[in-house]
Structure 1
Amino acid sequence: MPKMRRVSTLMCRPGMRLSKPVISDRGVTLLKHGVELNQLYIQKLFTMGIDYLFIDDPMTEDIIIEDPLREETRAFARIQLQQIFSAFSYGIDMGKADFYIGQCHKVSLMIIDDLDGCNNESLMLTNMNTKCNNIEQRFILNALNVCIYAAKMGLIESLPKKDIIALCMGALLHDLGIVWMPQHLFCKNEKLTTEELTEVQKHTEWGYQLLINIKSLPHNAAYCALQHHEKMDGSGYPLKLKDYQIHPFAKWVGLLDAYDAMTNSRPYRKALMPHEALDVLYASAGTLYEKSMVESFRNKVAVFPVGLNVKLNTGEIGIVSKVGPSFMHRPTIRILKTPSCEELLKPYEIDLSQHLNIMVREIV
């Protein structure tokens, strides 16, 4: 595995060298492995929506960041999701729809195989606290993240492979209905009006209408589009279904979609910290979300993955260096900067499981 550090793009400095290639949402390689960054590259990547980079760093070269997916899988998935978004935005006949569903099936298989071959039993997802510039970017990022979560949970729950594939396809396509959503509602940086909220909520029915007649798509995947905003107590939409009336795959996708939405920013709000998002889910377990699913997810997701840059409540800045299986929400942090932002010549580590008064305050 390559030795590298995940750094927020705006915190990168000229002279840093890339440990991984930079690939766009469309699968295009923007910068190759080993390229030395300059200020022009840094600013350009940020304006293109690239929120973090993997760089060489002698202070953290022993910290191995295990991305759950191969770069080839990510690139292929991005390309297919972009093409699916474009194709369904402008209308599509059933013949072509079957082709795109076939590609969606292939993406699901690649993601499942990557995760199944990963040595780490927990799930560490590094695409958090990102900003999307348009509705297509958000669709791609959300679809990919929710699919990764769904595949991992399906493997953990030992579901039959055909069910994991159907769950993944439902995760990839659950928000397809937003292709018909007015762009200005996505960009609005204040609370939606009642009328606007009603319009946005129609995306569940739009997505179902787009998918249900495609013969090559499992019906339980289409139900994910229709039911992923339903809630256990009947307070969801569009049908106000309760508990057993909601398909189990839709329950999973709704839960994972909610977590992904909370941990990524929106025009009208900042992203929640991962542990804060888990607390919100746990507080709603049994009322909005299936309790057993929330507990299973909570026990397996590493809220602060190895390689993540964080700032502690002490003001110190560092990188997550270890995540123990017994204390997944209290990782070990390698401190790289003092509270006054001075770089340390000799970094030191703090095990948060042994220092309960110290906590992660923000992702940087």
Structure 2
Amino acid sequence: MKKLSVSELKPGMRFTKPVYLDKENLFITSNTPVTDSDLDRLNKFGIQEVMTAGELLLLNSISSDPDVLETSIDDIIVNTVVEEELQPLKTIYDNLNRIKVTFGNLFRESTQLIQEVFKKTLEEKPLEVNPVREIAEKLSDFVRANHNISYLILSNNPSGYYLYNQITNATLYSLVLGKLLEYSRPKMIDLGISCLLADIGMCKVPPTISEKGEQLNEEEFKTIMKHTILGYQILSQRMKLKNNLAIVALQHHERYDGNGYPQKLSNNAIEEQARIYSIADNFSALVTNRPHRKKILPHEAIKSMISMDVGKFDLKLVRTLLNHLSLYPVGSCVELSDKRIGVVLGPNPDKPIRPCIRIIKDEYGEMVRNLILVDLLRETNLFISRPVDLQEITA
């Protein structure tokens, strides 16, 4: 490792490898910008040198290191000084920025695992639950330890097969709901396992149907519907998964009003873990591009779930999740009445239409280089004029 003088560090600097205070104590993770508060902390404790095995990343560069996330809207920030009353919001932002590399690595591990399980299923190879359990433990512990991770989920724009990405997103949202329901760690891990494997039956659906770029006909939809029974059989017979975990694959398309499939169960006859995954899977699907339709904005997905699709779900669970996500979900993108564009950083639970915003574009459409935070409860002269697509405005 090489040593770096603290006096040479500047806000916004990022490195390809983690930076350490000494051989054992981590300072910042790879690809995480140095902030003013980081430098204040070093100076406060009289630390004059840090060390890293990495290299300085240039602004807007993209690293080839697989352990480093690609450059994002957070990486162009060079000044993180904010007003005193906004320090709680800055703490939220700093924490999310600090864990984003861990999140990215976990996301890739999860999608790779799902792909591997699907491949082994198709090739009739032995299926083991231990690798799934290991990922479920990591995801569960990450969700339990961190808040507002919808910010990371919605700002993530992963490559690869949409279904693997959607399953991972749905698993994360399911775990968020499990956390809100105060699930124990073992129960959270079980929820993670069942959600990661819930759509395993889809690997048995012909690609000509699952990848069809238009509306399915009746026969094709009947084929899709079989994935629930096929998935349950795979998990219970081949993987020897416990029934309370395999049941999510069977029941996650049941509807609370009894109009789902394959058994037309209703209300609490549907296991709670399946009801949770159904809600998370639906929200994730709505905000993800699919072969036969384009995604909708998170705000529109929320409105759909509390209006048109209300009969599908356990309303108590929907309200629990949506109260956490808010009407403008954390991580979604909005335009303010002064034409600035920002990302929702945190909700104001009592005022769902007035969340806390992190500005990413000024009124002239230029990306901002300073950390600008807005609490709409305080800024009463401002309001959200419309939701916008984060990927489109940062493309």
TM-score range, shorter chain: 0.7 to 0.9
Name the structure 1 match of 2:76.
56
Match of 1:207 among 222, 231, 234: 231
| Cα deviation code 1:204-250 (max 9, x no counterpart) | 12211211214652212211111111101121112222223211111
RMSD of aligned alpha carbons: 3.7
Please tell me whether the aligned partners of residues 230 and 236 of structure 1 are also in contact (alpha carbons under 8 angstroms): yes
Correspondence 1:154 to 2:178 = yes
Deviation at 1:105, TM superposition (A): 1.0
Please tell me whether the aligned partners of residues 103 and 152 of structure 2 are also in contact (alpha carbons under 8 angstroms): no
Question: 5+ residue gaps in structure 1?
Answer: 5-17, 22-31, 45-49
Q: Could you tell me how far apart the structure 2 residues matched to 1:104 and 1:236 are?
A: 28
Deviation at 1:125, TM superposition (A): 4.3
Q: Which range moved further: 249-258 or 188-197?
A: 188-197
Correspondence 1:19 to 2:44 = no
Please tell me whether the aligned partners of residues 231 and 288 of structure 1 are also in contact (alpha carbons under 8 angstroms): yes
- TM-score w.r.t. structure 1 length? 0.74
Match of 2:115 among 54, 78, 82: 82
Residue aligned with 1:359, SS: strand
AA aligned to 1:177 is G
Residue aligned with 1:78, SS: helix
Residue aligned with 2:306, SS: helix
1:322–1:247 Cα change, 3 Å: closer
Deviation at 1:117, TM superposition (A): 2.1
Q: Could you tell me how far apart the structure 2 residues matched to 1:156 and 1:336 are?
A: 29
Please tell me whether the aligned partners of residues 131 and 266 of structure 1 are also in contact (alpha carbons under 8 angstroms): no
1:286–1:267 Cα change, 3 Å: closer
Q: Could you tell me how far apart the structure 1 residues matched to 2:271 and 2:322 are?
A: 21
AA aligned to 1:19 is N
Correspondence 1:301 to 2:334 = no
Look at both structures and tell me which one has the larger radius of gyration over its CA atoms.
Answer: 2
Deviation at 1:284, TM superposition (A): 5.5
1:262–1:245 Cα change, 3 Å: same
* Superposition map of 1:247-286 within 5 A: 247-283=271-307
Residue aligned with 1:128, SS: helix
Deviation at 1:334, TM superposition (A): 4.2
Q: Which range moved further: 152-161 or 124-133?
A: 124-133
Match of 1:291 among 302, 315, 336: 315
Name the structure 2 match of 1:106.
134
Deviation at 1:128, TM superposition (A): 3.1
| Cα deviation code 1:312-331 (max 9, x no counterpart) | 46643234455445445532
Please tell me whether the aligned partners of residues 80 and 371 of structure 2 are also in contact (alpha carbons under 8 angstroms): no
Deviation at 1:126, TM superposition (A): 2.6
| Cα deviation code 1:93-124 (max 9, x no counterpart) | xxx31x2x111111111111122222x3x552
Q: Could you tell me how far apart the structure 1 residues matched to 2:325 and 2:368 are?
A: 31
